[in-house]
Amino acid sequence: MGFPSEEKQPPLEPMSCRLLDYWSARRGDAALPRRAAIDLVCDLPALVAHCLLIEVGEGPSFRYRVVGTALADRARRDATGKMVSKEIYGDHLDDVLRPLCAVVETRRPVRVRGVERGIKMSSTPIEFVCVPIADDESDRVAFALGVISFLDVHIERDDNDLWFDALTTEIL
């Protein structure tokens, strides 16, 4: 069973809504919130285990600064401090980079609905919502903050890698 093929996208998952509401509140009238305005541990502790904080470098390049424990446990590795690279994602690197680059280029939140290909040849649909965060000195997108929701639909697959297929990418 996959996602509906309707032209209209499904509603956002609750964790995605919470992140977007938080991002909007923290940015106020500015285009982007500053990094100093973001404190998930204090402000949204229930989301921290499902969040990623990704530093945006030149090119752009991306480095995981924080990987939530639920995500690290599910992936059976903690990518904190590692570059988003072919070493981690292999042939699926473009699927991972596409929404991150969209966040940087558009300076807007992005939603991806896709499939995590998981352990034991089963797959879990996910929703990944990612928001841009400015550095504290300029309006440059310096970080991407994301949350991953695992949906209650399972899809059988024939491989054991932990990746996702980007089915839809939407600028919010």
Q: What is the pTM of this model?
A: 0.85
Extents of the domains making up the chain: 14-171
CA distance 73 to 32: 31
Q: Which of 65, 79, 49, 60 is nearest to 150 (CA)?
A: 49
- Alpha carbon 92 to its chain's center: 15
The 10 Å CB-count burial string (b at 16+, else e) for 38-68 is bebeeebeebbebbbbbbbeeebebbbebbb
Fold (topology level) of 14-171 = Beta-Lactamase (3.30.450)
- Convert the pLDDT of each residue in 36-83 to its tens digit: 999 999 999 999 999 999 999 998 899 999 999 999 988 888 999 999
- Convert the pLDDT of each residue in 72-86 to its tens digit: 988 888 999 999 998
